[in-house]
Amino acid sequence: MKSILNIVLLQNVYKKYPDSRDWVIKDISINIEEKKLIFICGPSGVGKSTLLHIIGLMDVANEGNVYFLGEKIMFDGKDLSKLRLENVGFMFQYHYLIENLTVKENILLPLWVKNKKVFFELNDYINQYLTILDIEKLLDRFPYELSGGEQQRVALARALVNNPKLVVADEPTGNLDQENAKKIVTLMKDFIEKFDMTFVVATHNLELTKFADKVINLKDGKIVSIQV
Ligand SMILES: Nc1ncnc2c1ncn2[C@@H]1O[C@H](COP(=O)(O)OP(=O)(O)OP(=O)(O)O)[C@@H](O)[C@H]1O
Ligand SMILES: [Mg+2]
């Protein structure tokens, strides 16, 4: 089955790690439609990060079907890196920024990974992101010289730098106060409007779910409810 409107489609997906006794993700079927802000919620350990990694092509499922931009994903993990580098941006749960790189170097890192020959410079396209995120004056600083909110906005800039169709963000507001957390989510909504991106966000912060187009609630690796 192919669908262009779905960025990602999961059908009856199961996942376990080599040393896990039970399934970590059980029988999950969801569609991630383009230009949407989708939240994955639930208590610690229910499988939010695991599901996010499967959606963002950072890990593969064991059973079920995964389609990315209509293409069926093979679970041997082959050829995923190209599809991922061209289409997915990440904000990680931990290790947001690399401490001994400047803000500018951190932001440009995905381009360097994709093509080491790319000239290590900002262009107009990237500059417009920096302006929206209000971090254009911070480019020569190191991460320890930034506030938590600024660090998260830099991490968001890095996730956006290869113009991804899909951005997956794992607790992107985890260590922010409510005001800065709202700012990050509002910026995500801006990027959806302006650049036709899609965001999937794992979070504990239920206050933010009011901004979502869809909230997927997990318990013990299963979907317990979906609010649209
Ligand atoms: N690499 C791994 N190897 C083995 N087990 C893992 C691995 N990563 C996660 N797990 C286990 O899988 C389950 C789901 O973990 P996951 O990180 O997806 O949860 P989570 O919902 O993101 O939790 P949190 O809110 O604390 O980040 C947990 O029981 C965890 O111990
Ligand atoms: Mg997690």
Does ligand 1 come within 6 angstroms of the Cβ of 44? yes
**Residue spans of the chain under pLDDT 50:** 2-3
Q: Which atom of ligand 1 is nearest to the CA of 43?
A: 25
* 46 CA to centre of ligand 2 in angstroms: 8
C-alpha 128/C-alpha 165 separation (Å) is 17
For domain 6-227, give the fold.
Answer: Rossmann fold (3.40.50)
State the ligand closest to the CA atom of 51: 1
C-alpha 31/C-alpha 8 separation (Å) is 6
Instruction: Provide the pLDDT for residue 114.
Output: 67
pTM of the model: 0.91
C-alpha 156/C-alpha 89 separation (Å) is 9
Does ligand 1 come within 6 angstroms of the Cβ of 45? yes
**What single letter denotes the amino acid at residue 77?**
G
**What single letter denotes the amino acid at residue 52?**
L
Instruction: Provide the pLDDT for residue 3.
Output: 45
Instruction: Provide the pLDDT for residue 89.
Output: 93
pLDDT tens for 45-73 read 999 999 999 999 999 999 999 999 999 99
Do 214 and 36 contact (CB within 8 A), yes or no? yes
Does ligand 1 come within 6 angstroms of the Cβ of 219? no
C-alpha 94/C-alpha 192 separation (Å) is 24
**What single letter denotes the amino acid at residue 62?**
N
- The structural domains of the chain, with segments of one domain joined by +, span 6-227
Instruction: Provide the pLDDT for residue 75.
Output: 86
Can you read off the two tokens belonging to residue 197?
Answer: 């991106």
* 206 CA to centre of ligand 2 in angstroms: 15
**What single letter denotes the amino acid at residue 201?**
V
Of 143, 176, 178, 177, which is closest to residue 158 (Cα–Cα)? Answer: 143
Partners of 223 in beta bridges = 218
